[in-house]
Amino acid sequence: MHEFERRKLVDMQRNIGLSADMLRQAQEVLRKAEQDKWRLQQELIRLQGVDGQDKAAEIERLKNELTTAQQSLGELEREMGAKENVHKALRSEVDTLTATYERERKKLIEGHPERIAAREAERVVDMIDELLPALFEIKLNALSEAVTRTFRSLHSKDQVHRIQIEATGQARLLSVEGTEITLPKSHGESKLFVLALVSALAEVTGYRVPLVVDTPLTSLSAEHCRNLLDRWAGDKERQVILLAQDKEIGVDDYRRLEPAIAKTYLLKHRQMGHGVGQTEAVADTFFGENA
């Protein structure tokens, strides 16, 4: 609709509101006039049934008042009828303009589908803003449960009952009694926690990306190394690339894990002279043992 027509519609809606208020006021005046007429009629009937010459003047006065009330009531009824007609006309015109406006608005929307897409996108963004706090809390709880389960499967000690990840990113280690464990952690324990956290993040997010670990088993006990290697070997859907030294994964460990190993490379260094070296990747070899 043109700007003039939109302004006309707004003015008509404002006028119909004023018309409705005037109609209600006229109805209230009419109702009071009808009540006065009925009261005067009852008073006249009562006086006409009472004997006495002194009532004649009172009866005549009431008759005059009743005649005046009837005339006033007639005028109010005619005024009420006129106001109702105006109100109906205004209502009809407003309904017509509203229908025209909705029809033109629909044409405008259908003619610009990108506006529909933008409006839908805005609704989706609003919904995401509402859901994010609840989803964040759910993911934090899931991450806490996953990192707790993974860390406890790797760690040989049972002192950590639960790991709680806070909204700030801080991790709290809790005992079975619910108290926070604040004792200093060894380098090996810190490495186990980091590996458990990486594994838990991959589990919660659902990202199946390769895991690349450089010298993963240094500072770990033999039991922790075995737990960690068994976990990686047991995950058939995850590709794990280990850059290990011979002291980390020996021949015996290699033979035990061989069913889960897809490929091996042995990096051999050769000195070329003048401080320059060359590294060669020998496929299907593990520290001198042919795979």
- CATH code of 47's domain: 1.10.287
Predicted local confidence at residue 16, as pLDDT: 56
In this structure, are 98 and 10 located in the same domain? yes
Predicted local confidence at residue 145, as pLDDT: 92
Q: What span, in angstroms and rounded, lies between the C-alpha atoms of 289 and 266?
A: 10
Number of structural domains, the chain? 3
In this structure, are 257 and 194 located in the same domain? no
What are the residue ranges in the chain where pLDDT is below 70?
1-24, 26-27, 30, 44, 46-60, 62, 108-116, 183-184, 288-291
In this structure, are 277 and 248 located in the same domain? yes
Domain range enclosing 29: 3-111
Give the domain-ending residue among 182, 207, 232: 207
Give the domain-ending residue among 111, 131, 147: 111
| The overall pTM is greater than 0.85 | no
